[in-house]
Amino acid sequence: MEFSPSLDQRLRSAIQAFWTTRESQAGKQGARSGIRDAGFRTAVTGGAQMNGFISVIRDLLEESGIGKPVIFTERSVELPGWFRPEKKWDLLVVVDNCLIAAIEFKSQVGSFGNNYNNRTDEALGSATDIWAAYREGAFKPSTRPWLGYLMLLEEAPDSTRPVRAQEPHFKVFAEFKSASYAKRYEILLTKLVRERLYDSACFLTSSRDSGPSGQYREPAPELTFENFITSLMARAIACKKSS
Protein backbone atom coordinates (compact mmCIF):
# COMPACT_ATOMS: atom_id res chain seq x y z
CA MET A 1 0.00 0.00 0.00
CA GLU A 2 1.56 3.29 -1.13
CA PHE A 3 0.79 6.71 0.31
CA SER A 4 1.51 10.19 -1.03
CA PRO A 5 2.88 12.04 0.79
CA SER A 6 4.63 9.21 2.61
CA LEU A 7 3.55 8.00 6.03
CA ASP A 8 6.87 9.18 7.44
CA GLN A 9 6.28 12.72 6.16
CA ARG A 10 2.76 12.80 7.57
CA LEU A 11 3.91 11.41 10.90
CA ARG A 12 6.76 13.90 11.18
CA SER A 13 4.28 16.73 10.64
CA ALA A 14 2.03 15.36 13.39
CA ILE A 15 4.99 15.02 15.78
CA GLN A 16 6.05 18.58 15.05
CA ALA A 17 2.50 19.86 15.59
CA PHE A 18 2.32 18.02 18.92
CA TRP A 19 5.36 19.74 20.37
CA THR A 20 4.64 23.19 18.96
CA THR A 21 1.06 23.01 20.23
CA ARG A 22 2.27 22.07 23.71
CA GLU A 23 4.73 24.94 23.73
CA SER A 24 2.10 27.38 22.54
CA GLN A 25 -0.44 26.26 25.13
CA ALA A 26 2.11 26.39 27.92
CA GLY A 27 2.88 29.98 26.97
CA LYS A 28 -0.73 31.10 26.65
CA GLN A 29 -2.15 29.30 29.69
CA GLY A 30 -2.85 31.86 32.36
CA ALA A 31 -1.85 34.83 30.20
CA ARG A 32 -5.16 36.57 30.83
CA SER A 33 -5.84 35.48 34.40
CA GLY A 34 -2.25 35.49 35.55
CA ILE A 35 -2.80 32.01 37.06
CA ARG A 36 -0.73 29.14 35.68
CA ASP A 37 -0.95 25.46 36.48
CA ALA A 38 2.10 23.91 38.07
CA GLY A 39 4.75 22.12 36.00
CA PHE A 40 3.83 20.40 32.74
CA ARG A 41 0.12 20.80 33.47
CA THR A 42 0.23 24.19 31.74
CA ALA A 43 0.37 22.29 28.44
CA VAL A 44 -1.77 19.31 29.41
CA THR A 45 -4.85 21.34 30.35
CA GLY A 46 -4.91 23.03 26.94
CA GLY A 47 -5.70 19.87 24.99
CA ALA A 48 -5.44 19.59 21.18
CA GLN A 49 -1.86 18.27 21.18
CA MET A 50 -2.90 15.08 19.37
CA ASN A 51 -4.94 16.84 16.69
CA GLY A 52 -2.15 16.38 14.16
CA PHE A 53 -2.37 12.61 14.49
CA ILE A 54 -6.16 12.71 14.30
CA SER A 55 -5.90 14.77 11.09
CA VAL A 56 -3.46 12.29 9.53
CA ILE A 57 -5.79 9.36 10.19
CA ARG A 58 -8.83 11.29 9.00
CA ASP A 59 -7.06 12.32 5.78
CA LEU A 60 -5.95 8.77 5.06
CA LEU A 61 -9.47 7.46 5.60
CA GLU A 62 -10.88 10.10 3.27
CA GLU A 63 -8.29 9.17 0.64
CA SER A 64 -9.44 5.56 0.90
CA GLY A 65 -12.95 6.63 -0.07
CA ILE A 66 -14.54 6.96 3.38
CA GLY A 67 -16.33 10.33 3.23
CA LYS A 68 -16.15 13.22 5.68
CA PRO A 69 -19.78 12.91 6.85
CA VAL A 70 -19.07 9.49 8.36
CA ILE A 71 -15.77 10.40 10.10
CA PHE A 72 -16.30 12.07 13.46
CA THR A 73 -13.43 13.70 15.36
CA GLU A 74 -14.74 16.54 17.51
CA ARG A 75 -18.49 16.23 17.84
CA SER A 76 -20.77 13.21 17.95
CA VAL A 77 -17.93 10.98 19.20
CA GLU A 78 -19.86 9.34 22.03
CA LEU A 79 -20.52 5.60 22.05
CA PRO A 80 -22.69 3.73 24.55
CA GLY A 81 -20.92 1.65 27.15
CA TRP A 82 -22.00 -1.30 29.27
CA PHE A 83 -20.57 -0.10 32.56
CA ARG A 84 -21.37 3.59 31.92
CA PRO A 85 -23.87 5.45 29.76
CA GLU A 86 -21.38 6.62 27.14
CA LYS A 87 -17.74 7.35 26.42
CA LYS A 88 -16.13 9.86 24.07
CA TRP A 89 -13.67 8.42 21.57
CA ASP A 90 -11.18 10.57 19.64
CA LEU A 91 -12.17 9.32 16.18
CA LEU A 92 -15.17 7.33 15.01
CA VAL A 93 -16.16 5.95 11.63
CA VAL A 94 -19.89 5.24 11.31
CA VAL A 95 -21.26 4.17 7.92
CA ASP A 96 -24.98 3.53 7.33
CA ASN A 97 -25.60 3.29 11.07
CA CYS A 98 -22.81 0.72 11.44
CA LEU A 99 -19.82 1.33 13.70
CA ILE A 100 -16.72 0.68 11.59
CA ALA A 101 -13.87 1.97 13.76
CA ALA A 102 -13.08 3.75 17.02
CA ILE A 103 -9.65 5.12 17.94
CA GLU A 104 -8.02 6.55 21.05
CA PHE A 105 -5.06 8.96 20.81
CA LYS A 106 -3.01 9.38 24.00
CA SER A 107 0.25 11.05 25.01
CA GLN A 108 2.43 11.42 28.07
CA VAL A 109 5.08 14.03 28.71
CA GLY A 110 6.68 13.96 32.16
CA SER A 111 5.08 12.62 35.36
CA PHE A 112 5.74 9.10 34.11
CA GLY A 113 5.29 7.34 37.45
CA ASN A 114 2.02 9.13 38.21
CA ASN A 115 0.36 8.65 34.84
CA TYR A 116 1.47 5.21 33.61
CA ASN A 117 -1.04 3.31 35.76
CA ASN A 118 -3.80 5.77 34.83
CA ARG A 119 -3.17 5.22 31.12
CA THR A 120 -3.16 1.46 31.66
CA ASP A 121 -6.46 1.55 33.53
CA GLU A 122 -8.02 3.79 30.85
CA ALA A 123 -6.94 1.55 27.97
CA LEU A 124 -8.17 -1.63 29.64
CA GLY A 125 -11.40 -0.03 30.85
CA SER A 126 -12.34 1.48 27.50
CA ALA A 127 -11.83 -1.80 25.66
CA THR A 128 -13.65 -3.88 28.27
CA ASP A 129 -16.57 -1.46 28.24
CA ILE A 130 -17.03 -1.25 24.48
CA TRP A 131 -16.72 -5.01 23.92
CA ALA A 132 -19.31 -5.68 26.60
CA ALA A 133 -21.62 -3.15 24.95
CA TYR A 134 -21.01 -4.80 21.57
CA ARG A 135 -21.78 -8.22 23.04
CA GLU A 136 -25.09 -6.90 24.35
CA GLY A 137 -26.08 -5.51 20.93
CA ALA A 138 -25.46 -1.79 21.51
CA PHE A 139 -24.19 -1.25 17.96
CA LYS A 140 -26.66 -3.33 15.93
CA PRO A 141 -26.50 -3.95 13.00
CA SER A 142 -22.72 -3.42 13.16
CA THR A 143 -20.30 -6.28 12.69
CA ARG A 144 -17.32 -6.35 15.05
CA PRO A 145 -15.82 -2.82 14.95
CA TRP A 146 -12.10 -2.06 14.56
CA LEU A 147 -10.48 -0.60 17.70
CA GLY A 148 -7.20 1.29 17.63
CA TYR A 149 -4.92 2.88 20.23
CA LEU A 150 -2.11 5.33 19.42
CA MET A 151 0.33 6.38 22.14
CA LEU A 152 3.05 9.04 22.02
CA LEU A 153 5.52 9.03 24.92
CA GLU A 154 8.19 11.60 25.68
CA GLU A 155 11.62 10.04 25.28
CA ALA A 156 13.54 11.29 28.30
CA PRO A 157 15.90 9.90 30.98
CA ASP A 158 13.00 9.34 33.37
CA SER A 159 11.00 7.37 30.79
CA THR A 160 13.86 5.21 29.49
CA ARG A 161 15.79 4.26 32.64
CA PRO A 162 15.01 0.98 34.47
CA VAL A 163 12.27 1.16 37.11
CA ARG A 164 12.13 -1.15 40.07
CA ALA A 165 8.86 -3.05 40.39
CA GLN A 166 7.23 -3.23 43.81
CA GLU A 167 6.82 -6.83 45.03
CA PRO A 168 5.78 -6.78 48.70
CA HIS A 169 3.84 -10.06 48.51
CA PHE A 170 4.14 -11.68 45.07
CA LYS A 171 6.59 -11.51 42.18
CA VAL A 172 5.73 -9.51 39.07
CA PHE A 173 5.99 -11.20 35.68
CA ALA A 174 9.55 -11.40 34.40
CA GLU A 175 9.07 -8.95 31.53
CA PHE A 176 8.30 -6.14 33.97
CA LYS A 177 11.41 -6.54 36.11
CA SER A 178 13.59 -3.41 35.73
CA ALA A 179 11.52 -2.34 32.72
CA SER A 180 11.51 1.40 32.02
CA TYR A 181 8.22 3.23 31.62
CA ALA A 182 8.81 3.19 27.87
CA LYS A 183 9.23 -0.59 27.98
CA ARG A 184 6.16 -0.92 30.19
CA TYR A 185 4.10 0.93 27.58
CA GLU A 186 5.49 -1.30 24.85
CA ILE A 187 4.50 -4.37 26.85
CA LEU A 188 1.06 -2.94 27.57
CA LEU A 189 0.24 -2.13 23.95
CA THR A 190 1.61 -5.43 22.68
CA LYS A 191 -0.54 -7.36 25.13
CA LEU A 192 -3.63 -5.26 24.35
CA VAL A 193 -3.37 -6.31 20.71
CA ARG A 194 -2.44 -9.95 21.37
CA GLU A 195 -5.36 -10.27 23.79
CA ARG A 196 -7.58 -8.80 21.03
CA LEU A 197 -8.72 -5.94 23.21
CA TYR A 198 -7.61 -3.66 20.36
CA ASP A 199 -7.20 -4.60 16.72
CA SER A 200 -4.02 -2.56 16.39
CA ALA A 201 -1.86 -0.22 18.47
CA CYS A 202 0.87 2.27 17.63
CA PHE A 203 3.67 3.27 20.02
CA LEU A 204 5.81 6.31 19.28
CA THR A 205 8.46 8.11 21.31
CA SER A 206 9.81 11.61 20.75
CA SER A 207 12.11 13.85 22.75
CA ARG A 208 11.52 17.41 23.86
CA ASP A 209 14.68 18.51 22.03
CA SER A 210 14.28 16.89 18.61
CA GLY A 211 10.50 16.49 18.56
CA PRO A 212 9.76 20.05 17.38
CA SER A 213 11.66 19.22 14.18
CA GLY A 214 9.52 16.11 13.66
CA GLN A 215 11.90 13.47 14.99
CA TYR A 216 10.43 10.30 16.50
CA ARG A 217 11.18 6.63 17.16
CA GLU A 218 9.16 3.42 16.90
CA PRO A 219 10.63 1.14 19.60
CA ALA A 220 8.59 -1.97 18.73
CA PRO A 221 8.34 -3.40 15.18
CA GLU A 222 4.92 -4.81 16.06
CA LEU A 223 3.59 -1.37 17.02
CA THR A 224 4.66 0.82 14.09
CA PHE A 225 2.48 3.48 12.54
CA GLU A 226 2.62 1.66 9.19
CA ASN A 227 1.23 -1.53 10.73
CA PHE A 228 -1.44 0.49 12.51
CA ILE A 229 -2.66 2.40 9.46
CA THR A 230 -2.42 -0.63 7.16
CA SER A 231 -4.74 -2.56 9.48
CA LEU A 232 -7.19 0.34 9.67
CA MET A 233 -7.16 0.97 5.93
CA ALA A 234 -7.82 -2.70 5.21
CA ARG A 235 -10.92 -2.46 7.40
CA ALA A 236 -12.01 0.77 5.70
CA ILE A 237 -11.52 -0.62 2.19
CA ALA A 238 -13.42 -3.80 3.07
CA CYS A 239 -16.26 -1.64 4.39
CA LYS A 240 -16.32 0.41 1.19
CA LYS A 241 -16.48 -2.71 -1.01
CA SER A 242 -19.35 -4.20 0.96
CA SER A 243 -21.42 -0.99 0.94
Q: How far apart are CA 21 and CA 26, in angstroms?
A: 8
Contacts of 79 (CB under 8 A, 6+ apart): 86, 87, 89, 92, 99, 102, 130, 133, 138, 139
CA distances from 203 to 64, 169, 180, 182, 219 (A): 23, 31, 14, 9, 7
Q: How far apart are CA 73 and CA 58, in angstroms?
A: 8
The per-residue pLDDT for 13 is: 95
pTM: 0.88
CA Rg value for the chain:
19
End-to-end CA distance of the chain: 21
Q: How far apart are CA 2 and CA 106, in angstroms?
A: 26
If residue 160 lies in a helix (H) or strand (E), which one and from where to where? Answer: helix 157-160
The per-residue pLDDT for 236 is: 84
Instruction: Give 76: exposed, middle or buried? Use CB within 10 Å, 0-12, 13-18, 19+.
Output: exposed
pLDDT tens, the chain, 243 aa long = 566 679 999 999 999 999 999 888 766 655 444 544 444 433 333 358 999 999 999 999 988 887 767 899 988 999 999 999 999 999 999 988 899 999 999 999 988 988 999 999 999 999 999 999 999 999 999 999 999 999 999 999 999 999 999 999 999 999 999 999 999 999 999 999 999 999 999 999 999 999 999 999 999 999 999 999 999 999 888 876 665
The per-residue pLDDT for 190 is: 98
The per-residue pLDDT for 39 is: 41
The per-residue pLDDT for 105 is: 97
- Which DSSP letter does residue 2 get? -
